[in-house]
Amino acid sequence: MVFVLKPGVSQHNIDHFTQKIESWGFKTFLSTGTEHTVICLIGNTAKIDVDSVVQMNDIVEYGKRVTEPYKAVNRTVHPEDTVVNAGGVPIVNGMFQVIAGPCSVESEEQIIEVARSVKASGATMLRGGAFKPRTSPYAFMGLGEEGLQLLLAAKRETGLPVVTEVMNQTQLPLFDDIDVIQVGARNMQNFDLLREVGRYNKPVLLKRGLANTLEELLMSAEYIMSGGNSQVILCERGIRTFETSTRNTLDLSAVPLLKQKTHLPVIVDPSHAAGIQTLVAPLARAAVAVGADGLMIETHNDPAQALSDGAQSLNLVQFKELMKDLKRRIDFEGKHIGTA
């Protein structure tokens, strides 16, 4: 961390400031220029709020953190790509996995029909919501624990590993047989939940919040990793902007940028980002090309009947056609789908 002092600060004030910093347990290094004096701090500065120091100390012109505030997720600390083992399916650079399934688990018939179909089309994991975050308290909240059981039935039927969303930490004991626990966009900064899934020994799919920066996403992953769980998958799913013609704005720049900064795998959810079914296929193709490690695609056996999020779901035939196309593209990128 570096602080640049204002021009003409007295030696007395500089001494007072450096003593204060040292009282916090840091070493300081001072360099005196003709214009500005610069003070470098040495030590673990993660707990210091730079802005506070600048504004609370009149003699400081500005301050800046030189090193990133995240450690465990940082690629400079851990250069090799992390392999997340999602119920036997590796999510990692070089592979490309496709997670498909409905927004909500609705019935045993539905989830098994979808699971069989997406597996036949080439999906390598199954998704389905049992606990649903809904903006309105009057909307359908999912089947809850029964939904988890139906998902597991579909897993037994097809062998596909399953991913589903947890809404709060008291639900975690119910997730013992689930392969990947999803932390949704609205919970990306539910720090107590992050800490709790960090104590689990199970992969976590962490979705970027609607208004969260990439640094905040990495800090949330850091919460999980600092708890001892290094099996974290990051997911770009669109951010909130002024544009209203799509539900959210898919930020595909996030993929290569995250992969520079962290060793964790990064996947893309084009369905929630766009909110429009006709955009899912082109955005999925773009996600493959931009370097993502996988996709999460909403797929429903009868989107027109779905009361929630039908607008963004592919039907089973559309998904099959998309997979045919995506497999050619995964191959073109020299990547592999599945366990091979």
Binder to a second copy among 15, 19, 22, 35 (CB under 8 A)? 35
CB burial class (10 A; 0-12, 13-18, 19+) of residue 174? middle
Residue 29 makes contact with a second copy by CB under 8 A: yes
Query: Can you give the C-alpha Rg of the chain in angstroms?
Result: 23
Find residue 32's DSSP bridge partners.
37
Structure tokens at 20: 């204060």
Q: Is 226 in the site for a second copy (CB under 8 A)?
A: yes
By CB under 8 A, residue 204 contacts a second copy = no
Count of other CB atoms within 10 angstroms of residue 220? 27
Give just the sign of the alpha carbon dihedral 249, 253, 259, 265. positive
Q: What residues form DSSP beta bridges with 314? A: 299
Report if residue 145 touches a second copy, rule: CB under 8 A. Answer: no
Q: Does residue number 290 form part of the binding site for a second copy (CB under 8 A)?
A: yes
The DSSP secondary-structure symbol of 111 reads H
Residues from 53 through 92 that contact a second copy (CB under 8 A) = 53-57, 61-62, 64, 66, 69-70
Determine, following the binding rule CB under 8 A, whether residue 40 of this chain makes contact with a second copy: yes
* Residues 175/166, Cβ–Cβ less than 8 Å: yes
Q: Give dist(CA 258, CA 264) in Å, integer.
A: 8
Least distance to a second copy from the beta carbon of 217, Å?
A: 10
- Shortest Cβ 180–a second copy spacing (Å): 20
Report in angstroms how near the CB of residue 339 gets to a second copy at its nearest.
25
How far does the chain reach from its first CA to its final CA, in angstroms? 45
- Interface with a second copy in residues 262-281 (CB under 8 A): 273-279
Residue 197 is a binding residue for a second copy (CB under 8 A): no
- Under the binding rule (CB under 8 A), the answer on residue 144 touching a second copy is no
- Of residues 279, 264, 266, 282, the one with CA closest to residue 329: 282
C-beta closer to a second copy: residue 22 or 49: 49
Q: Output 86 or 323, the one with its CB closest to a second copy.
A: 323
Stretch that binds a second copy, among 29-37, 90-98, 112-120, 228-236 (CB under 8 A): 29-37
Beta bridge partners of 267: 235
**Strand (E) or helix (H) holding 314:** none
Nearer to a second copy, 25 or 88 (CB): 25
Comparing CB distances to a second copy, the nearer of 160 and 330 is: 330
Q: Would you count residue 172 as binding a second copy (CB under 8 A)?
A: no
Residues 91-110 as x/- pattern, contact with a second copy by CB under 8 A: --------------------
Answer yes or no whether residue 285 interacts with a second copy by CB under 8 A.
Answer: yes
Task: Tell me the C-alpha distance between 86 and 90, whole Å.
Answer: 6
